[in-house]
Chain A
Amino acid sequence: MTTTAVTSTPPRSSKAVGGARRRRLLQPSGFLWITPALVLSSGLVYFCIAYTLYVSTLDWNGVSPNPVNVGFGNYLKLLQDPVFWLALQHTVFFFVVTFAVQTVLGLLFAVLLHSKVRLASVYKVIIFLPVVLAPAIMAPVFRNLFASNGEFNQILETVGLGFLAQPWLAQSSTAMFVLVVMNIWHSTGFAFLLYYSAMGQIEPEIIEAARIDGAGNLRVLWHVIVPGVRGTMLALATLAVIGTLKLFDIPYLVTLGGPNYATEFLGTLIYRQTVPLGYVGYGAALSIALLFLALTLSVILNLRGREKRDATVPIEAAGVGMGGKE
């Protein structure tokens, strides 16, 4: 019973015997350890979700003392709102393009920097640095870069592609391009870092064996390295989905969702409806729709990952925190 004496909490009576019982006694009860985090995080989050659900059934401007209950009215309005569907289309497009480019670039950088190249640490810094820089800080830079007299058009003219120069941000057809470029710039470093770490865990013997069997660089990449990082890729896909659904800073600060809703996303739409326009009830309904999409998609992606048996839940969540700041 000496072990019992040193445990700070009285041991639970357990019918388990031997090693299992000993472990029981040695593992302290831990509810107090998780309480502060649960109270702060889950407390705030679930309170907010419940409250938003309630507000989404109201026709309310946020200050009026007697809001009108409209039941599912806001949700019906949402389904008939062309801007909502437009924002969803933009979300899908944005996700597909940024994820594809970020995956290719991230993998290439990771492979190249695992090869014998000079100044590898300098390149690593250059690629990762954009991740730590706030979109709010970089937005004026990108607005200048893609202005009609900006550096991007100057570069086009220097390399003889002057006929392509145009006011990128002022046209509905090209504004989205700028946002995609900015997001790729901002998020590729994170994908690179995770791929880089994942590749470090591939056994060199496997690559060596493939080479002895006569595989060239590209075949090694495609048949050995890419399958080896599939778990990371799935994780990054989850992150990119959630990150795109969360997108606010970049479209709000670079294009304000315009011109003519050409770069409207769910985040900017919710903000516009709730804050400047004061349709708080409708904004709440949009929020619930967004939450529903985010939860459903991440559950689906996680379950599929589980089936493939290489799911690593931690990385699947790994960029969520960062994705949220996009």
Chain B
Amino acid sequence: MFEARSIGGKLLLQLVLTALAIPFLLPLVAMVQGSLAGLGWRNYLTVLSVPAVPLFFRNTILLSAITIVIVYALTMMAAFGFAKTRIAGKQFFFWALLVSLTLPEVVLITPLFLSVAATGLYNTIFAVLIPLAALQIPFTVLLTRTFIEGIPDSLLEAARIDGASTWQAFWHMILPLTRPIGAAIVMLTLIGTWNTYLLPLLFLSDPSSQVLTQLPGYFQGLYNDDQTKVLASAVITAFPVIVAYLCLQRLFERGLSAGALK
């Protein structure tokens, strides 16, 4: 977009870009450096040898995996329903779903707390999982509906004339064709669940049921002022999301822009 004809101009563009990007890298550098201060790598060994750490990981992985499956399945079905089938009062139902897009989760804490207490889900990941999925779905449906609307009707009609049921059309055409937006859904839901803090803070108080976002707090309690351990736990927690992002990066960006901009 910017054009630099001379070498100096090119160098200037590169320099400006670098100067602007460095502050974004600084906190990460500080995090890694801080985690290596004092005992160096032994900080990581100490953190990893705390028996609760694998539990935090297991709980977060379970939470993310189940939420992703639920969100993906319900989103695909609903987005297909809204984009390609006839439903009486379709607009009404669509807007009814969209209202929750603006909903801050903190608004839900009282009713959720009472429901969780009443159903005995306290200290189980389901107390976090169900509201998380419920709040994620409207957004992913919105993205995916736009994407599916871009698939020509004639393709689906051809499939039906050839004798495919709606379900077969959904399974053999819609799902493969929506793979980029599918990656975006998986990534967004992964970020959302991996990073969720308020709901676990409310509903998961027992360390055996807690998730990774509670790990720094747990170490704060355990090691008091030894910030190196806290930072080491932060690095360990951040690592899997970074890897997931790097792996899905291309698909994710394609899906997000395809769903968002068309």
Contact = CB atoms under 8 A, between A and B. Distances in A.
A220 B191 contact: no
A40 interface: yes
A47 B85 contact: no
Contact of B81 (A30, A198, A211): A30
A80 B231 CA distance: 42
Interface string A232-266: 10010000001001101100010000000000001
Contacts of B244: 132
Contacts of B16: 108, 112
B111 interface: yes
Contacts of A288: 107
Contacts of A287: 106-110
A40 B82 contact: no
Contacts of B164: 6
A43 B115 CA distance: 13
B135 interface: yes
Contacts of A245: 104
B100 interface: yes
Nearest to A63: B117
Nearest to A281: B110
A109 B24 CA distance: 12
Interface residues of A, number: 116
Contacts of A267: 104, 106
A305 interface: no
Contacts of A87: none
Contacts of B131: 44
B240 to A, nearest CB: 10
A134 interface: yes
Most A CB contacts (10 A, CB to CB) among B137, B142, B202, B260 go to B260
Q: Is the interface of B mostly helix, strand, loop or mixed?
A: helix
A41 B216 CA distance: 31
A66 to B, nearest CB: 16
B143 A294 contact: no
Contact of B107 (A34, A42, A52, A232): A52
Interface string B186-217: 00100110111110001000000000111010
Given A36-B77, A40-B74, A200 B234 contact: no
Contact of A318 (B25, B77, B133, B260): B260
B7 interface: no
Nearest to A121: B249
B231 A136 contact: no
B34 A242 contact: no
A126 B17 contact: no
Nearest to A112: B17
A34 B93 contact: yes
B27 A249 contact: no
B62 interface: no
Contact of A138 (B191, B234, B260): B234
B257 A197 contact: yes
Contacts of A45: 99-100, 103, 108, 134-135
Interface in B96-124: 96-114
A57 B117 CA distance: 21
A51 interface: yes
B65 to A, nearest CB: 17
Interface stretch (A20-28, A71-79, A92-100, A163-171): A20-28
A123 interface: yes
Contacts of B87: 29-31, 34
Interface in B24-75: 24-28, 30-31, 34, 70, 73-75
B77 to A, nearest CB: 5
Contacts of A105: 20
Most A CB contacts (10 A, CB to CB) among B30, B86, B107, B227 go to B107
B197 A253 contact: yes
A217 interface: yes
Contacts of B23: 185
Contacts of B139: 317-318, 320-321
Contacts of B10: 116-117
A253 B103 CA distance: 21
Contacts of B128: none
Interface string B244-261: 111001000100110111
Contact of B21 (A126, A207, A325): A126
Interface string A179-197: 0000001001100011001
B224 interface: no
Interface of B: 1-4, 10, 13-14, 16-17, 20-21, 23-28, 30-31, 34, 70, 73-75, 77-78, 80-82, 84-88, 93, 96-114, 130-131, 133-143, 146, 153, 156-157, 160-161, 163-167, 188, 191-192, 194-198, 202, 212-214, 216, 220, 227, 230-231, 234, 237-238, 241-242, 244-246, 249, 253, 256-257, 259-261
Given A37-B78, A199-B1, 11 more contacts: A6-B160, A26-B161, A34-B77, A34-B81, A36-B73, A36-B77, A45-B108, A108-B20, A116-B4, A290-B107, A321-B136
